[in-house]
Structure 1
Amino acid sequence: MKNNLSKIALFLLLGAILYSCSLVKRVPEGQHLLIENTVMVDGKKEKSETILNQLYQKPNSSILGYRLRLQMYNLARKSPEADYQLWLEKNPKRHKFLADLLSEKQVQRLGQSFFVSGASTFLKKTGEPPVIIDSTKVQKSRNRLLSYYFNAGYFNNKITYKIDTLADKRGKVSYDIKLGTPYIIDSISTSIKTEALDSLFQRTKNQSLIVKNKQYNSQDFIDERKRIATHFRNNGAYYFQETNIEYDVDTVATNHKAHVDILIDDRTIKKGDSLVKVPFKLYTISEVNIFTGNTHNKSKQKVADSVSYNNFNIYSSDKLKYKPKALTDAVFITKGSKFSDFRRQLTSRSLSNLRVFNYPNIEYEEDKNDSTGTSLIANIILSPRKKFTFNATADFMHSNIQDFGILGSAAVSIRNLFRGAEILEIALRGNIGSSRDLANPNNVFFNISEYGADVKLSFPRIFFPLNTDKIIPKNTLPTTQMSIGLSRQQNIGLDKESFTGILNYNWNPKRNTNIRLDLVNLQYVRNVNPGNYFSVYHSSYDRLNSLAHVYNTNPGNMDAEGNLTIPDGTTNFTNEVLGGQTSLTQNDGDYFAIRSIEERRIRLTENNLILATNVTYTKSSRTNINDNDFYTFKTKLESAGNMLSLISKLEKQEEDIYGRKKFFNVEYSQYLKGEVDFIKNWDLGGKQVIAARAFTGLAIPYGNSNSIPFSRSYFGGGSNDNRAWQSYSLGPGRSGGLNDFNEANFKIALSAEYRFNIFNKLNGAFFADAGNIWNVFDNVTDEESVFEGFKSLQDIALGTGIGFRYDLNFFVIRLDVGFKTYNPAKEMKERWFRDIVPNRAVLNIGINYPF
């Protein structure tokens, strides 16, 4: 054993030496590889990414300390084509042989091939050249740090640096910063020449970002300039710009006090050959013109139709095709209101939201009929999109159930259907796919198919009998959608036919906040082949079949090999057990097991009628697609069956033998469901991000139901959940996923990822997923599946792994490998780390990030 340890230690030592030497392979003699920057601020080490980003040189990037891209660069040959020529010159016979075989031209082109130079080119392009310490760049870094701290109020800061050269052509750079005493804003005064602007400034003076007794920071001055300009331009100052604001900061002999004077001069205009100063004016909108049709300009000479409506003038180059209200409801620039950038931006968003026009053009011009010169005419130019649009798509897809699928659709859109900017969309869709989780007796690759049709009608307003403007104002950009859909699914299993009908409303009370209300969400699902249940759910059949070998007394239930036939044998055997025709009694555990199998069969093969209402609230702090420091909060509340329950009571419907009521001979579902989903990203800089997600959901059946419909229940595992388990294979609880498709009505899911860039568009991630599903408040009584309070939290599964993601700009291809780190299905002493072996890894292929 000692001898083995010595060999391992020697191997590790040799590896470390070789790694260390390879780092400086491309570092010239007399120069040094930068391995570390140290910034000391008043004796304390500064680790802030903001400060370190001020430096012009940073050490080569690393992944957990390993400088992969530098090593890749070092693997490349310096001049592969020159090496190739030397190789030919060393052996003229070899050169002649190749020339005779290929021709001299081909021999020369071989030097440019991937095998000779392509690999090195790829390694150089993908890798990173060594960062050589450059004293000029070190000096520039010092100057940038000086400027950074100066802008933060440390006007007298002092910075020195030191370059430490180490053995083996390595080096470190340290910066020592003495901040000194910061300057504090002591007094603030204003000098605003235009009286109207001074009056506006005084209204929001208490919102100023330049505050007395606050440390000087140049960013506050930049932000305050934006705040003042925005406030002025939203209150009529059409010609005002940020550049009209200047600051005079006095710090001379003030004992580290800064006296700030905010200066806003009058407007400069050209009068003849001279520049003169005139006061800024606050403009009022005197006229709003909306131009539509086939015109791209505001020429009234080309108008064929016009109408005045609610103080708006609407012009069209041909017959007006829009109801005036449909256009004016989307315009927030109104006659008699002050000029406002905010109203212009809101109008632009609202008109774009109609989806019947291209991006609008909004222009202003001074009203020449106003003798005071304080009026503006707003011209809104709208270019209609095509009334009919046909779109056909084909796509590849991956989901928690479908390993691979091909999706195709054909859709036609009809815009401005009723002249109110409504949009009718009619779509046909079809999809074939492959799933390892479904029964596939003939081993067919495409064992899933689905086809259907959808019709959706969209209104750019709240479509409701009562006026909702006070509750949901127009500036929240409300929309209404009515949709119906029909589909049929074939998966060599139960097969399903479904009908959906949805009436929903969407609006945005704030820029990054969305509310969706599904007033009506109707779903009817019919199982076409319920008799095929045991051909699909193999685990249920295997358990029932093994019990039949012990308790079955009817030979007619079995085939020639002694197994239950499907469906007659399974049905007869279950009925015989539950009817008391076998030796099993209700006190036997196997009787309970057979009854549970039958209850699950009935639940998963029964037709579902769900009439629900739900509301979803979403809030995000993300500003754009490149923002990697944000949060998203989403919560949803859904109630189903209450309307049907009320109708059944009014009609005094009778209950069936199970105490259930039906509509159209189908039991309707009744439940209450709530979900909370929170995602947070932290940007660490250098293309490194930590992302975390917390989700919990609970659906409680009541009234006409004692369980949740399969389509509304929760499952665990899969590429967007716990990636160490396959879809539907985790839980419930510690039961071990005995069924083919395990689901329950309570779920907890927690995930965290450390994301980093490997090179170019290839990114990596280390992840940990925790969570499980349980049954609670329903008809499941199995202790291993039921949530029993805090003690059930020990059944939370943990999966860890590594992922690779390739960014194609418009979407990300994701490959994740997960390992069962803590498996609650095993005995307590065997739960940790027993499955972290390659042959038990779970491979997940996904599109885009998991959360």
Structure 2
Amino acid sequence: MKLKHFKILVLITTLTLFTSCDAVKRVPLNEHLLTNNTVVINDKKNNSETINNLLHQKPNRAILGFPLRLHLYNAARPNIDSILQTKIYNDEEKMAWKTKLLSRKQLEKDIASRKGFNSWLKRTGEAPVILDEEKTKQSIIRLESYYINNGWFNVDVTYNINKTENKRAQVIYNVNTGKPFIIDSISKKIESPLVELLYEASEKKALLKTGEQYNTHNFAQERDRITTELRNTGLFHFGQENVTFEIDTIGTNKKVNVGVFISNRKITTPDTTYTKPFKIFKVNRVNIYTDDTFATRDLPYKDSIIYNGYSLKSHDKLRYRPKAITDAVFIAPKTIFRDIDRTRSYRYLNELRTFKYPEIRYEPDSDSTLTANVYLTPLKKFQLGFSTEVSQSNIQSVGLGLNSSLQIRNIFKGAETFEISAVTSIGASKDKNNLDDPFFDINEYGVDLKLRIPRLFSPFNTDRIVPKYMSPSTRISLSATSQTNIGLDKQTFSGNFNYNWSPSDKITNNLDLFNVQYVRNLNVENYFRVYESSFNSLNQIAKDINYISSETNLSIPEDTNAFLDYALTDPTPNEISDNQLSTINGIGERKDRLTENNLIFSTSFGLTRDVRTNLFDEDFSIFRFRLELAGNLLSNTSKLLGLEKDEDNRYKIFNVAFSQYVKTELDYIKHWDLGKKNILAMRSYFGIAIPYGNSNNIPFSKSFFAGGANDNRAWTAYSLGPGSSQSSNEFNEANLKLALGIEQRFNLFEDLNAAIFIDAGNIWNVLDDVEDENATFTSLNSLKDIAIGSGFGLRYDFSFFVFRFDIGFKTHDPSYQNEKRWFKDYNFRNAVYNIGINYPF
């Protein structure tokens, strides 16, 4: 045993010495490899990303402390051509031996592959970072600038270099900040009385405050704020160059006296330069060119119209209703110039999806009036789209899909967009019901109609409730699909009337005024062929009570339906135990639920608050809220019409019992940027759907499920829950869901990232017709049945999407009701492997 430990120690020592020597093999004589930077600020080490990014020279990147890319680079031969020439081409004996084994062409390929591998090592690797003292001095300048810009005007930065005999070096930066400077007073000097009046009106929004530490960034933001405020109050010629700050720190005892100076307008002519006070400009005229191109801009316009003071012009016949275009332009005639009106016009015109990126130019008419010219270039009226896909799933060996669409712009001359799309797919099932069926025995086809109107389509004027700067739009859609496969063939019809608007750049509101869904199941007799676990349980009970012999099985659907009727008769047959009856009853209820036709008429409201500033922002939060009400209008209509209820005490319309429920969802996502490409991400979710009135349960399409690549990754989709029930159903669902996920993401190297995660949550039944105590949420004590999964994963960033691979382990499994739940199946054999696109939250 001692000898074994000694060998391991020798091996580790040898590897350490080898990699240690190998690290500096490409470092020239009398040079040193930079191995570490240490920044000491006021006698305390600082390793923050902000400070490290200021250093001009950094050591080679490492993974878990090991400079892998440096060693890859060192493994490459710097003079591979001369080495191959000497060892092969110049060695006649070796050349003769090799050409006997290989042809000349094969030998050349072998040599080329060696060169290629050597080049790959160089490209993938990273050259050693050689200490450069000039770059160290540049880092000193950067550190000084950083602290001075943040208020430490008396900062002192020095450095020490520690060199070793084994060609390595460390740099220690010592920063003594001193006391920060505080803004003591703010005064202003404004040359124009008009500008002074406008400035004072917005002075409460100033970003510079007395008593705060000096920060150069705040001064830049204050300059931007002043410029924006004044340009939005009519000062067309005002710019950032007219705002300067005077900083006085002489004899102030670490205090800063700030002077805000706003100059007059500077005018430069070929002969002289002079100044004059700013004036408030008004927009006198607004010209909108509706079919502008560079080629036709100078040609005469054949059609023009004046609408609400706007002048609309077209080279050909005007193809748009004037109101549809003027509503998208926020610059109004006879109004004060505001820069924000141009910004809003750009955004709204782009959202019409009818024109290319517009061009808006102002031209002065006089010393106080402007003409605004809006140039619009229409997109093509018709646009065709095609896409294909190949898929594979647990029920089909191969699937082929074809999607086609036709988009028609400006269909009603109000910048509306109409789209008609068709979906067709065929597939070959893995388990055919009939061997005589064709190879492609699964098919689905459907049509989808969508109309987008760039305003709230309503008989009432909604401008005061939802102003046009909120980019309101209306979406109307109708769709129908028909599906024929080895399972439950069905037809689906749906219709939606939706409003969408954004009160701010961070908040989006969505209102489904009505959403209608009708699902009709066509092949109910195939139920037990699709849900095999239900059939297996039912079939086993039939054998156990000698309803059928142990050598035979229930036929589908005749025997299965007959056995359900037999077992669920009143009184219950004596040979069926209470546990067996409970299982059979659950199978029957699930079959009725999943094969029941659905009619859903709902209204819903959704709100999303997303504070991300851009796609690369990694410190943000997203909050989503949704409330849905279904069946109330149909219920009241049924009562007014005096309709009679069926034997289950439900109203029916078109011979279908409509659904009635209330559903709400809360979703919160938070990301923390920890620096150095380390992100902590968290998601919490709560959803509940309560049936009432005409319903005892929630339609399958509106229920919740748990598990999957974007949920609890230690369970596959639909396999978790409900509660602690030991369900083996193919699709587990319920009407209450809790979910919580937390993930630590970090970079390995280049575009390869990794993550460790913990997912928790489950689904339960509550306030519906499910009576199984293990599947229902009865009190806070039910939270003990929360499932917990943990694991790790890799992510590769392709810029336009992220490829994700996660491995989830069952850490706390509530399905083990009376057994050890923690870490019982925590192994690779019971792990769940997930592949996904982009991050789970």
The TM tier, using the shorter chain, reads over 0.9
How many angstroms apart in 2 are the aligned matches of 1:9 and 1:796? 46
Closer/same/farther in 2, CA of residues 81 and 631 from structure 1, 3 Å limit: farther
Q: CA deviation at 1:129?
A: 2.9
Q: CA deviation at 1:45?
A: 2.4
- SS of aligned partner of 2:304: strand
1:452 aligns with 2:446: yes
Q: CA deviation at 1:207?
A: 1.7
Aligned 8 A contact 1:157 1:180 in 2: yes
* Of 804, 809, 824, the match for 2:799: 809
Aligned 8 A contact 2:429 2:486 in 1: no
- SS of aligned partner of 1:252: coil
Q: CA deviation at 1:499?
A: 0.7
Q: CA deviation at 1:581?
A: 7.3
Deviations 1:339-367 (A, max 9, x none): 11111000111111111111111000011
Q: CA deviation at 1:398?
A: 9.0
Closer/same/farther in 2, CA of residues 2 and 640 from structure 1, 3 Å limit: farther
- SS of aligned partner of 1:509: coil
Q: What is the match of residue 92 of structure 2?
A: 92
Closer/same/farther in 2, CA of residues 548 and 104 from structure 1, 3 Å limit: closer
Q: What is the match of residue 320 of structure 1?
A: 318
How many angstroms apart in 2 are the aligned matches of 1:327 and 1:394? 36
Q: CA deviation at 1:689?
A: 2.2
1:422 aligns with 2:416: yes
Gapped regions of structure 2 (runs ≥ 5): none
Q: CA deviation at 1:496?
A: 2.1
Q: CA deviation at 1:240?
A: 1.6
1:551 aligns with 2:542: no
Q: CA deviation at 1:244?
A: 2.0
How many angstroms apart in 2 are the aligned matches of 1:799 and 1:751? 9
Question: In the alignment, residue 625 of structure 2 is paired with which amino acid?
Answer: T
Q: What is the match of residue 380 of structure 1?
A: 374
1:285 aligns with 2:283: yes
* Of 408, 413, 418, the match for 2:407: 413
Aligned 8 A contact 1:716 1:730 in 2: yes
Q: What is the match of residue 53 of structure 2?
A: 53
Q: CA deviation at 1:587?
A: 7.5
**1:82-121 equivalence runs, <5 A:** 82-89=82-89, 91-96=91-96, 98=98, 107-108=107-108, 110-113=110-113, 116-121=114-119
Closer/same/farther in 2, CA of residues 111 and 586 from structure 1, 3 Å limit: closer
CA RMSD of aligned residues (A): 2.9
Q: CA deviation at 1:449?
A: 4.5
Question: In the alignment, residue 815 of structure 1 is paired with which amino acid?
Answer: F
How many angstroms apart in 1 are the aligned matches of 2:257 and 2:55? 32
Q: What is the match of residue 365 of structure 2?
A: 367
Question: In the alignment, residue 45 of structure 1 is paired with which amino acid?
Answer: K
Q: CA deviation at 1:179?
A: 1.0
How many angstroms apart in 1 are the aligned matches of 2:601 and 2:452? 21
Aligned 8 A contact 1:291 1:298 in 2: no
Closer/same/farther in 2, CA of residues 439 and 218 from structure 1, 3 Å limit: farther
Q: What is the match of residue 199 of structure 1?
A: 197
Task: State which drifts further: 801-810 or 625-634.
Answer: 801-810
Aligned 8 A contact 1:681 1:690 in 2: yes
How many angstroms apart in 2 are the aligned matches of 1:839 and 1:127? 36
1:703 aligns with 2:700: no
Q: What is the match of residue 497 of structure 1?
A: 491
- SS of aligned partner of 2:774: coil
- SS of aligned partner of 1:180: coil
Deviations 1:737-791 (A, max 9, x none): 4211111111112222222333433333222222111111111121221123332
Q: What is the match of residue 177 of structure 2?
A: 179
Q: What is the match of residue 522 of structure 2?
A: 528
Deviations 1:522-578 (A, max 9, x none): 11111221111111111111111111112253x5xx7x9321111111110110011
Closer/same/farther in 2, CA of residues 591 and 22 from structure 1, 3 Å limit: farther
Closer/same/farther in 2, CA of residues 788 and 435 from structure 1, 3 Å limit: farther
Closer/same/farther in 2, CA of residues 399 and 206 from structure 1, 3 Å limit: farther
How many angstroms apart in 1 are the aligned matches of 2:66 and 2:794? 17
TM-score when normalising by structure 2: 0.93
Aligned 8 A contact 1:81 1:111 in 2: no
* Of 463, 474, 489, the match for 2:457: 463
Aligned 8 A contact 1:478 1:507 in 2: yes
Aligned 8 A contact 2:545 2:575 in 1: no
Question: In the alignment, residue 606 of structure 2 is paired with which amino acid?
Answer: T
How many angstroms apart in 2 are the aligned matches of 1:89 and 1:267? 77
Q: What is the match of residue 152 of structure 2?
A: 154
Closer/same/farther in 2, CA of residues 396 and 231 from structure 1, 3 Å limit: farther
Aligned 8 A contact 1:439 1:535 in 2: no
Question: In the alignment, residue 607 of structure 1 is paired with which amino acid?
Answer: N
Closer/same/farther in 2, CA of residues 70 and 782 from structure 1, 3 Å limit: farther
Aligned 8 A contact 1:585 1:591 in 2: no
Closer/same/farther in 2, CA of residues 511 and 87 from structure 1, 3 Å limit: same
How many angstroms apart in 1 are the aligned matches of 2:534 and 2:120? 53
Q: What is the match of residue 567 of structure 1?
A: 557
Aligned 8 A contact 1:439 1:536 in 2: no
How many angstroms apart in 2 are the aligned matches of 1:812 and 1:400? 25
How many angstroms apart in 1 are the aligned matches of 2:14 and 2:375? 73
Aligned 8 A contact 1:756 1:764 in 2: yes
How many angstroms apart in 2 are the aligned matches of 1:247 and 1:711? 62
- SS of aligned partner of 2:481: strand
How many angstroms apart in 2 are the aligned matches of 1:237 and 1:475? 22
How many angstroms apart in 2 are the aligned matches of 1:652 and 1:267? 77
Deviations 1:49-95 (A, max 9, x none): 21221112233334444444334434444444443333314742332
Task: State which drifts further: 475-484 or 43-52.
Answer: 43-52
- SS of aligned partner of 1:206: helix
How many angstroms apart in 2 are the aligned matches of 1:319 and 1:814? 53
- SS of aligned partner of 1:427: strand
Deviations 1:460-513 (A, max 9, x none): 000112222221111101000110011123442112211110010110110121
1:142 aligns with 2:111: no
- SS of aligned partner of 1:622: coil
How many angstroms apart in 2 are the aligned matches of 1:668 and 1:25? 77
Q: CA deviation at 1:197?
A: 1.6
Q: CA deviation at 1:186?
A: 1.9
Q: What is the match of residue 73 of structure 2?
A: 73
Closer/same/farther in 2, CA of residues 657 and 446 from structure 1, 3 Å limit: same
* Of 514, 532, 536, the match for 1:542: 536
How many angstroms apart in 2 are the aligned matches of 1:773 and 1:2? 54
How many angstroms apart in 1 are the aligned matches of 2:207 and 2:129? 41
Closer/same/farther in 2, CA of residues 398 and 38 from structure 1, 3 Å limit: farther
Identity percentage of aligned residues: 47
Deviations 1:27-49 (A, max 9, x none): 44554444432222212222332
Aligned 8 A contact 1:484 1:500 in 2: yes
Aligned 8 A contact 2:63 2:749 in 1: no
Question: In the alignment, residue 618 of structure 1 is paired with which amino acid?
Answer: T
Aligned 8 A contact 2:292 2:375 in 1: no
Closer/same/farther in 2, CA of residues 193 and 444 from structure 1, 3 Å limit: farther
Closer/same/farther in 2, CA of residues 17 and 764 from structure 1, 3 Å limit: same
1:389 aligns with 2:395: no
Closer/same/farther in 2, CA of residues 145 and 571 from structure 1, 3 Å limit: same
How many angstroms apart in 2 are the aligned matches of 1:489 and 1:21? 67
How many angstroms apart in 2 are the aligned matches of 1:708 and 1:402? 29
Q: CA deviation at 1:291?
A: 0.9
Question: In the alignment, residue 94 of structure 2 is paired with which amino acid?
Answer: R
Gapped regions of structure 1 (runs ≥ 5): none
Closer/same/farther in 2, CA of residues 46 and 449 from structure 1, 3 Å limit: farther
Closer/same/farther in 2, CA of residues 780 and 59 from structure 1, 3 Å limit: farther
How many angstroms apart in 2 are the aligned matches of 1:356 and 1:613? 30
Q: What is the match of residue 765 of structure 2?
A: 775
How many angstroms apart in 2 are the aligned matches of 1:23 and 1:627? 36
Q: CA deviation at 1:98?
A: 4.9
Closer/same/farther in 2, CA of residues 435 and 155 from structure 1, 3 Å limit: farther
Aligned 8 A contact 1:732 1:775 in 2: yes
